Amino acid sequence: MKFSTHTEASSPAQTEVALIVGGGPGISASCARLLAANGFQVAIAARSASKPVLLELAQHPNIHCYACDASNAAEVEQLFATVAADLGDPSLVIHNIDGRSAGIFRKGVGEADSSLLLDTLVNSALSAFNVAQQAVRSMRGRDLPDSGHRGTVLFTNASAALKGFAKSAAFAMACQAKTGLAQSMARELMPEGIHVAQVIIDAAIGVPQADGNRKHWAAGLTQDDNMADPDEIAQVYLQLHRQHRSTWAFEVALRPWNEKW
């Protein structure tokens, strides 16, 4: 087979479907808007489809919101079936769930609750596996296009994937488990034409506010620097999906210009 050209790879004849699992106001919302603006039909799923950010996104004609607890394998299977029926099979699947239990935040190993640690692993790493499994089953079921690229599975990950910080064992365990999943999938599935990659956000995300400033999603900080702009992150997700299969990146870590690392 000859190398297909970049143009062919990125301009399929029919509308592409993207499925984003995780419905926060940062990366998920930015990806939904960017993909819709680039002609995708976008499905976005969260535990509750009535979150304010989803209600706002649902105003867009090409963005469709779904409810799904991704830590439940059966619900994820149902989600993929519903999206396939509504929009078609997704060629781009994004897992963007943080999954940290609030009660375990900044707890040392001596203090953290074992059951909350398990919740964190289930909500983050197990949900990533559930989503990945359905994505693989769906993508394998399709004919191989001329580009040799069946589809893309992207995982969002965090600094803790690179380095386990003190008083953050549960999150480090969840993030590094996701890395293990992504690495194993990449080696298994890239030879089948499925691009697997993770994007590590080594930064706080700065979500735009009504006053034009950006705000740290968790800490309520308002600052302009040292926070990653989710609209810029979304560009990287789309670029990864559009990479030709001769040059697939597995991992990209993004950090602000003034981040210490």
Residues 76 to 115: which contact its own copies by CB under 8 A? 108-110, 112, 114-115
Which of 92, 151, 229, 237: binder of its own copies (CB under 8 A)? 229
Place of tokens 């993004």: 254
- Which residues from 206-225 bind its own copies, rule CB under 8 A? 206, 212-214, 224-225
The amino acid that residue 233 corresponds to is I
Residue 55 CB, nearest distance to its own copies (Å)? 25
- Dihedral over alpha carbons 57, 61, 63, 66 (to 10 degrees): 90
Q: Are 21 and 65 in contact (CB under 8 A)?
A: no
**Binding-site member from 42, 65, 185, 207 for its own copies (CB under 8 A):** 185
Return the number of the residue (55 or 218) whose C-beta is nearest its own copies: 218
125-184 positions binding its own copies, by CB under 8 A: 125-126, 129-130, 132-133, 136-137, 140, 148-149, 160, 163-170, 172-184
Torsion 194-5-31-178 (CA) sign: positive
Q: Tell me which stretch binds its own copies (CB under 8 A): 45-53, 58-66, 95-103, 120-128.
A: 120-128
Q: Minimal distance in Å, beta carbon 246 to its own copies?
A: 4
> For its own copies, which is the closer residue by CB, 34 or 65?
34
Nearer to its own copies, 65 or 197 (CB): 197
Q: How many amino acids of this chain bind its own copies (CB under 8 A)?
A: 91
Dihedrals φ, ψ of 31, to 5°?
A: -65, -45
Tell the smallest beta-carbon distance from residue 163 to its own copies (Å).
Answer: 6
On whether the CB atoms of residues 120 and 99 are closer than 8 A, the answer is yes
Nearer to its own copies, 61 or 260 (CB): 260
| Burial of residue 49 (number of CB atoms within 10 Å: 0-12, 13-18, 19+) | middle
Binders of its own copies among 35-64, rule CB under 8 A? none
Question: Residue 64 or residue 129: which is nearer to its own copies going by CB?
Answer: 129
What is the sign of the dihedral through the CA atoms of 233, 35, 187 and 125? Answer: positive
Burial of 241 from C-beta contacts in 10 A (0-12 / 13-18 / 19+) = buried
Select the span of 18-26, 37-45, 94-102, 247-255 touching its own copies (CB under 8 A): 247-255
Of 138, 32, 42, 141, residue with least CA distance to 87? 42
Separation CA 90–CA 42 (nearest Å): 9
Q: What are phi and psi of 236, to 5 degrees?
A: -65, -40
* CB of 237 vs its own copies, minimal distance in Å: 11
Q: Any contact of residue 13 with its own copies (CB under 8 A)?
A: no
Please answer whether residues 67 and 46 qualify as being in contact, where contact means their C-beta atoms are separated by less than 8 angstroms: yes
